[in-house]
Amino acid sequence: MNYQLCKAAGLVAGYHSPPAEEAVDFWNRLVEYAAEYNQDRRPPRFDTLDLSLNSFCTKNDGLEDSAQIEIGLRLPMGFKESTLKKETQGWSDAPRVTFPYYEPPFRAEKNTAVVRALLRAIRSAEG
């Protein structure tokens, strides 16, 4: 998930929050959303919504203030990307939130011939 917000630069004593503060608010709200979603879910983590803050960048050139966040998401089985898109739409003052990469959740069985062979090889190497 990518978040981007750009606004005309304002005064420190102004009435509007700068994009950097709004970006922090967005991240904190996303963390709260994931915590609420995960509240009744237990490990293994196949059923949880997991986040990682991969990049956070703010800029001010005197005319514009901007903030960009790159967020890693691991969606649980059955969780729709569109659900998160709808939920996050109104969280900030006109940010651009995109989902440039999407791989649907996938869960494979652990007891296959390939997995057994890999585990034997790992154990034989004392791993």
36-63: per-residue pLDDT in tens? 999 988 766 778 999 999 999 999 998 9
CATH number at residue 108: 3.30.70.360
**Percent of all residues in the chain with a pLDDT value above 70, rounded to a whole number:** 93
Tell me the residue range of the domain where 60 lies. Answer: 2-124
Give per-residue pLDDT as tens, 73-114: 988 888 888 888 888 887 876 778 888 887 777 777 878 999
Q: How many domains are there within the chain?
A: 1
* CA 91 – CA 99 distance, rounded (Å): 16
